[in-house]
Structure 1
Amino acid sequence: MGGVALDNGPSGVKAPDGGWGWAVLFGCFVITGFSYAFPKAISVFFKELIREFGVGYSDTAWISSILLAMLYGTGPLCSILVNRFGCRPVMMVGGLFAAVGMILASAATNIIHIYLCTGVITGLGLALNFQPSLIMLNRYFNEKRPLANGLAAAGSPVALCCLSPLGQVLQYNYGWRGGFLILGGMLLNCCVCGALMRPLVAPKKAEDEEKQVAATVEKKKPKAKLLDFSVFKDRGFIIYTVAASIMVLGLFVPPVFVVSYAKELGNEDTKSALLLTILGFIDIFARPTCGVIAGLKWVRPRCVYFFSFALIFNGTTDLLGSMSKNYTSLVVFCIFFGISYGMVGALQFEVLMAIVGTEKFPSAIGLVLLVEALAVLVGPPSAGRLLDITKNYMFVFLLAGTEVALSSIVLATCNFFCIRKSPPAPEAELEMAKGETEMEQLKKPLGGEGEEEEDEHRIVEVEKGQQEERDKQKEEEMEDSVQTNSTKVEDIVKDGAERNGNVTNPETSL
């Protein structure tokens, strides 16, 4: 079985879809906001850093790049730590790392110190918070999981709209050193969010049952895998990983270049920066709305294709946005891009959860983020290189749109042709046919005097067969009560996925 975390809870625990889960959702909302918005918000201090250390803009841009690389590239490390120590301790330590990194950076004497403190230490701290928060959200929600993912993903645009103006205020009043120090204190809230990730508690009956078999568990229980590479045997996971890698090549390019594109068209700086505000405002409402739609009974079994639609929507928006010739057309582009970008953000982890299930999700997300990290480092720089060669933003947006649209085609077509639906179990079909035959025999109308005795004989035979089955079940129950505790443990492990409330999606199951 996949990566089993210490706080995964007993196998008899079902996702509550509420209760303390809403506190977990709030913590995930805050963590997602810090993780995605912080690398962008830190850019407001770049001018002060350039003046302080005498470096170029490209040198300071490495701070955000290292932050993103740590957030994505340390995915397998986070999976190992979660599977070894559990989500709550990893998040508490990650919150301390994130805060300490910014506090140390406030006393930096050169740009290398900021690379190490803000980029590496703070980036690692945010990574240790982001991934475990998604894992806990997956454990607490099942039926309402699409909505929960949409609400949690909304933390990114909300935090971006708050942290960027806050950074400008801090820089104006306290300088970049005071701003770093205050932001470091704010990151201590990640520890509070980590404390909210309470492990699921088993029912009393399940606890008593586990106490009875505790000794046998220690002897029989296989060693938990710190990083489960068996997810690569899942065809749906491989398709998702390939499509996601192509997606991130172009997904983050338009927000990086849209402001420069507006300036190139002759718009002033303030007016150009307003485009990102419009994009973020639309994104705030798009993510929860998409989560609600993804949770509908007809849509949820087809969430992979809904995700493909979101990608093709985003890619088409980029292609059409490349034709923008004035500020009004760029505003329209940002509105539609905000909608499609929010849809992608709300669905990307929901689809991964549906593909691999709860038990393998901690390992799966780490491996996916590692592969995406390579694409994230290649995507924006390659677009910038294309801009240097062509001197035309149209080709940048065309490249981004083509990459995102290609990922949609790969995801949809491969799932349609390579993933087949699971046929019903032969035993279940046999039992169903047997039950229907017996019911037809019982409901068959009685004939005349010659057929009356035959009908009565048939009914007696059916009742006799049912009585024999009941006797057989009683004997099996008696045998089960005498069985060893090791057999009970095997039964508990075997049925663990069903008791956790996971339902295999026919669209993503082999």
Structure 2
Amino acid sequence: MKMGMDNEVVPLLKKKDTHVNITANTEAQLLQKTGRVKKTKARQTAILGACMYMHLMSLGFTVALGVIYVELIRYFDTKRSLAATVQSLFQGLTFLGGIAFSPIVIRFGVGKCTMIASTCGALSLFISIWSVNIYMVIVCIGFFGGLCMSVNYLSAFVAVGWTFSGHRKAALAALTMATALGQIFLPNLIEALIEQYGWTGACMVASGLMLNSLPCGLILYFSKHTFQENVNNSSSSSLKVCTCSSKKDVAFIVFLIVCLIYPGWGAVESWFIVDLTVLRGYGRQAGTVLLSLLGIFGLLGRMMGTALLTVFPTLSMAVPLASVFQFFALGHFIVIYLETYNGMLVGCLIRGLSIGAIMCFQPSMLLELRGIDRFPRTVAICNCFTGIVQIISGYLGGTVADLTGGYDIAFYVATITAAVSGMCLIIVKCLINIGKKTNLQTE
């Protein structure tokens, strides 16, 4: 009889409408039996903080590479298309590598994978200082660095998704703030280091900052028994991400198309704003200021998005994303159309706020479309699409500058893709609504 009661405790705990009172002793026995540790606010905060630092030194560091990009052109006397490959490859593989590493992360745990990836990533960045040509920099920083940081980027999303249950969307949105913080502080730090020690000294210091992700991995490793989905990893891995059997599946495919078309050209400011500022005669330092302001405005956009998700945790993301994408397009247009420094500043303001909201809402959109069981692999697939187009677009953007002497075409293409992405989100919303009506009629 006692064994039967124990087997019934788990489903009862997951139902919010149950009126069964579980005593503290019974809950403690349940946690002990399942091998899990009770989550506390302090532990959740520590996990979120660790994951935010991992994002800061993965996707956040890609923006600082925009400052190094200008220096690589001068130091190696190379074409912009080749120098841009360093940043686009790093950022693209940060997204793309997750599809290859997601089974490993789920099987061996986010803690172990983070510690190994942080060590290898720091080592690749450190080795790059002995590069004798731009191709060695591409391999060390762009290829190996991007692959290593893809593990940290994915692990952070997975750990936060498994840790928070009541406010999961808000926690995922808060996680994206770390990228904006990296955009604020890292470009100025890299600029100061380049002035003092050159790009090699900047990479040496950055490798040490990347190695600081090791303690983050330790936090995740010793918190593995608190993860909500930890006991369901085997069953979750057998679920198909998409079967194309419902309107919601089709909506997910449309959203994947959005993740394919907008991120590459949408990153033109992060990649080229410093060089664009130099070409317009304002200097590298002025461009670095704009790059940092992109981070500040991006942080504000993420904060507003997080506040919205905190107040409205069940809010559907399709319509808010569709609206923000139109502002995203406007930001690209203003940056390239208004050639004055103040005009570029206004464009960066609009672009920063909008991309902050987009990055904040995107994980919630994936969670809404696929659910927590499919979330790790869904994020990996979405990041895969993002990474592919960013690798290609970075090289094409640099080629455009080599052939035309400017970035006008790249920014106008970014404007169009952002506007089209917003229209696709309207289609996603319609498909979701049709699916809900179909389900109601079936019931």
Q: What TM-score range do you get, normalising by the shorter chain? A: 0.7 to 0.9
Alignment partner of 1:358 is 2:369: no
Once the two structures are TM-superposed, the CA of residue 395 in structure 1 deviates from its matched residue by 4.4
Alignment partner of 1:248 is 2:263: yes
Taking the aligned partners of 2:127 and 2:365, their CA distance within structure 1 comes to 38
Which residue pairs with 2:46 in the alignment?
23
Does structure 2 conserve the Cα–Cα contact (< 8 Å) formed by 1:72 and 1:372? yes
Which residue pairs with 1:485 in the alignment?
none
Which residue pairs with 1:231 in the alignment?
242
Once the two structures are TM-superposed, the CA of residue 174 in structure 1 deviates from its matched residue by 4.1
Alignment partner of 1:292 is 2:317: no
Name which of 44, 50, 55 aligns with 1:32: 55
Once the two structures are TM-superposed, the CA of residue 363 in structure 1 deviates from its matched residue by 1.0
Taking the aligned partners of 2:408 and 2:431, their CA distance within structure 1 comes to 34
Does structure 1 conserve the Cα–Cα contact (< 8 Å) formed by 2:251 and 2:427? no
Taking the aligned partners of 2:281 and 2:192, their CA distance within structure 1 comes to 27
Once the two structures are TM-superposed, the CA of residue 318 in structure 1 deviates from its matched residue by 2.7
Which residue pairs with 1:310 in the alignment?
324
Alignment partner of 1:167 is 2:178: no
Alignment partner of 1:191 is 2:191: no
SS at match of 1:300: coil
Name which of 372, 380, 401 aligns with 2:386: 372
Taking the aligned partners of 1:412 and 1:292, their CA distance within structure 2 comes to 23
Deviations 1:101-150 (A, max 9, x none): 12332344554443333233222221111101101111122332333223
Taking the aligned partners of 1:291 and 1:15, their CA distance within structure 2 comes to 26
Once the two structures are TM-superposed, the CA of residue 243 in structure 1 deviates from its matched residue by 1.5
Distance 1:202 1:222, change over 3 A: closer
Distance 1:271 1:163, change over 3 A: closer
Deviations 1:64-107 (A, max 9, x none): 23212321221211211122212111111111111221233234
Distance 1:11 1:282, change over 3 A: farther
Name which of 296, 312, 318 aligns with 1:281: 296
Question: What percent identity do the matched residue pairs reach?
Answer: 21
SS at match of 1:358: coil
Taking the aligned partners of 1:256 and 1:171, their CA distance within structure 2 comes to 17
Does structure 2 conserve the Cα–Cα contact (< 8 Å) formed by 1:317 and 1:337? yes
Alignment partner of 1:414 is 2:428: yes
Taking the aligned partners of 1:363 and 1:336, their CA distance within structure 2 comes to 32
Which residue pairs with 1:71 in the alignment?
94
Moved more, 394-403 or 52-61: 52-61
Taking the aligned partners of 1:176 and 1:265, their CA distance within structure 2 comes to 23
Taking the aligned partners of 2:58 and 2:357, their CA distance within structure 1 comes to 18
Distance 1:422 1:196, change over 3 A: farther
Does structure 2 conserve the Cα–Cα contact (< 8 Å) formed by 1:68 and 1:123? yes
Which residue pairs with 1:461 in the alignment?
none
Which residue pairs with 1:403 in the alignment?
417
Which residue pairs with 1:488 in the alignment?
none
Taking the aligned partners of 1:60 and 1:344, their CA distance within structure 2 comes to 27
Does structure 2 conserve the Cα–Cα contact (< 8 Å) formed by 1:16 and 1:141? no
Distance 1:43 1:303, change over 3 A: closer
Taking the aligned partners of 1:328 and 1:48, their CA distance within structure 2 comes to 25
Does structure 2 conserve the Cα–Cα contact (< 8 Å) formed by 1:106 and 1:177? yes
SS at match of 1:142: coil
Once the two structures are TM-superposed, the CA of residue 314 in structure 1 deviates from its matched residue by 1.0
Does structure 2 conserve the Cα–Cα contact (< 8 Å) formed by 1:18 and 1:140? no
Deviations 1:364-413 (A, max 9, x none): 11111112222112334444555666667554433211101101111222
Which residue pairs with 2:180 in the alignment?
157
Which residue pairs with 2:356 in the alignment?
342
Once the two structures are TM-superposed, the CA of residue 261 in structure 1 deviates from its matched residue by 4.4
Does structure 2 conserve the Cα–Cα contact (< 8 Å) formed by 1:18 and 1:141? no
Does structure 2 conserve the Cα–Cα contact (< 8 Å) formed by 1:79 and 1:226? no
Aligned residues: 404
Q: Amino acid of the residue matched to residue 293 of structure 2?
A: I
Instruction: Specify every segment of 5 or more residues in structure 1 that has no aligned partner in the other structure, as ranges.
Output: 1-8, 204-209, 211-220, 430-510
Taking the aligned partners of 2:36 and 2:252, their CA distance within structure 1 comes to 25
Deviations 1:179-228 (A, max 9, x none): 4333222212112112222124489xxxxxx9xxxxxxxxxx99657685
Does structure 1 conserve the Cα–Cα contact (< 8 Å) formed by 2:318 and 2:428? no
Taking the aligned partners of 1:301 and 1:290, their CA distance within structure 2 comes to 11
TM-score between the two structures when normalised by the length of structure 1 = 0.69
Instruction: Specify every segment of 5 or more residues in structure 2 that has no aligned partner in the other structure, as ranges.
Output: 1-31
SS at match of 2:257: helix
Which residue pairs with 2:315 in the alignment?
301
Distance 1:235 1:378, change over 3 A: same
Taking the aligned partners of 1:11 and 1:242, their CA distance within structure 2 comes to 40
Which residue pairs with 2:170 in the alignment?
147
Which residue pairs with 1:489 in the alignment?
none
TM-score between the two structures when normalised by the length of structure 2 = 0.79
Once the two structures are TM-superposed, the CA of residue 331 in structure 1 deviates from its matched residue by 1.8
Once the two structures are TM-superposed, the CA of residue 271 in structure 1 deviates from its matched residue by 3.4
Distance 1:239 1:142, change over 3 A: farther
SS at match of 1:420: helix
Once the two structures are TM-superposed, the CA of residue 292 in structure 1 deviates from its matched residue by 0.9
Distance 1:267 1:249, change over 3 A: same
Deviations 1:146-179 (A, max 9, x none): 3322322121121232222322333444444444
Which residue pairs with 2:121 in the alignment?
98
